Amino acid sequence: MIIRDFDFSRDDPECLWSLYESVYSGSKAFRDRWSWEVCSYPRGDVRILIADCEGEYAGMTMRTAVPLRVQGERVRAWFATNSLVLPRYRGKGVIGKLYNNAAETGDLQLSKGTAPVMYRLLLKMGYREIVPNTYLTCVVAPLSWALWRLTGNVPFQNRKHRMDGRYGDFTEVTGIDREAFDGFDDSYYATLSQDSNYFSWRYVEAPSRNYRIYIRKQEDRTVSRCVLRLEGRTATLVDLRWNAEAGDEPRRTIRFIKDEARSQGAVKVVAWANLAPLRRILNREGFRTRRETPHFSFFSRDPRWISFPWEQAHFVHGDGDAEYL
């Protein structure tokens, strides 16, 4: 067995789709995502490692390059996305070999959205837990939520309020241009670096999800932007960025999100973020901590990351691949 990089110019992706079909009983979703996730990735660097066993792909793991901003400094890191092994090769250390090879670049390795069994394996391989990392939930329509829990059905009532009320400074947009990023200061915490191209790829062009994107402006300057996904009676806060100079942020945007979700028929809002100050604000705005977690973790031999204050790093539900899988 040889661990090697998948050669996009020479290797046949049909072999990958065959592997995917053998593990997940269908490769259509992988084919549908290929052109978006791999070919259109705006940062241009997707790495796929395969375990090649005499021409048969026994397993694979995908890495996407993500630049982080740490106090204004750009740092290269990789998110693990989509790892799998053929059933007959499991228990033979294939995943460990793939992950060890991926880490040989020396760059920071990030993982999120892993199953409990896989998460325990990552911890054995030297990955370290990033905390806090649990989900938070806010019930925005208590009576409707109770009825929904009891009967599974709630009559939909659309209550429009934001455009002509207290949230008139928020606008729903169908796309994002550079103006929404110009002068947007998020260098005061460590976070995944975004630009308009990446944001559009992630939330406008994604083939498997539909998102609602909102921006808030003050004097023609964007001071916050957020992304919601509505599915049934649940709204998920997928992304949230704000300008530290706006003294009422991010509290104002969080309150807007709750009202907007309720106006769209949602009975609860689910959020995930690991930035401790943001979690404290979410708690004060009625969000309660759940036990569920996406198992956020990292691997690095660099003392900088081992001692890094991860509770001051701002990652959200939309970072990584847990949201669009």
- Encode pLDDT of 145-174 as tens digits: 677 777 767 665 555 555 456 788 899 998
Q: What is the mean pLDDT of residues 82-102?
A: 91
Query: DSSP 3-state helix, strand, coil percentages of the chain (rounded to 5)?
Result: 30, 30, 40
Supply the mean pLDDT for the chain. 87
Q: What's 140-165 look like in SS3?
A: CCHHHHHHHHHHCCCCCCCCCCCCCC
C-beta separation of 242 from 322 below 8 A: no
Query: Token digits for 146?
Result: 């109770």
Check pLDDT > 90 for residue 282: yes
C-beta separation of 136 from 270 below 8 A: yes
Q: Please give the DSSP secondary-structure letter assigned to residue 35.
A: I
248 class by beta-carbon count within 10 Å (0-12 exposed, 13-18 middle, 19+ buried): exposed
What does the pLDDT read at residue 19?
A: 87
pLDDT band at residue 27 under the 50/70/90 scheme: low
For residues 223 and 183, give the distance between their C-alpha atoms in angstroms, rounded to a whole number.
9
What does the pLDDT read at residue 165?
A: 63
Query: Token digits for 223?
Result: 């001071």
Report the candidate in 261, 286, 289, 272 with the shortest Cα–Cα distance to residue 144: 261
pLDDT band at residue 49 under the 50/70/90 scheme: very high
Report the candidate in 37, 40, 1, 42 with the shortest Cα–Cα distance to residue 20: 37
What does the pLDDT read at residue 107?
A: 93
Tallying the residues shown for the chain, one arrives at 325
Check pLDDT > 90 for residue 255: yes
For residues 230 and 234, give the distance between their C-alpha atoms in angstroms, rounded to a whole number.
6
Query: What burial letters (b/e) apply to 298-310, b meaning 16+ CB within 10 Å?
Result: bbbeeeebeebeb
Q: What is the pTM of this model?
A: 0.89
pLDDT band at residue 79 under the 50/70/90 scheme: very high
For residues 154 and 147, give the distance between their C-alpha atoms in angstroms, rounded to a whole number.
7
Q: What is the mean pLDDT of residues 178-201?
A: 75
What does the pLDDT read at residue 157?
A: 56
What does the pLDDT read at residue 325?
A: 65
Q: What is the mean pLDDT of residues 202-223?
A: 88
Lowest mean pLDDT among 1-10, 76-85, 149-158, 290-299: 149-158
What does the pLDDT read at residue 183?
A: 54
For residues 295 and 297, give the distance between their C-alpha atoms in angstroms, rounded to a whole number.
6
- Encode pLDDT of 221-254 as tens digits: 888 999 999 998 899 999 999 988 888 999 999 9
Check pLDDT > 90 for residue 293: yes
DSSP for 209-222, please give it.
---EEEEEEETTEE
Q: What is the mean pLDDT of residues 305-324?
A: 90
Check pLDDT > 90 for residue 194: no
Check pLDDT > 90 for residue 112: yes
Beta bridge partners of 147: none
247 class by beta-carbon count within 10 Å (0-12 exposed, 13-18 middle, 19+ buried): exposed
Q: What is the mean pLDDT of residues 270-299?
A: 95
Report the candidate in 240, 285, 284 with the shortest Cα–Cα distance to residue 259: 285
Task: Name the phi and psi angles at 190, rounded to 5.
Answer: -80, 130
What does the pLDDT read at residue 17?
A: 84
For residues 297 and 171, give the distance between their C-alpha atoms in angstroms, rounded to a whole number.
35
What sign for the dihedral angle of Cα 161, 164, 166, 168? positive
What does the pLDDT read at residue 193?
A: 84
Check pLDDT > 80 for residue 295: yes
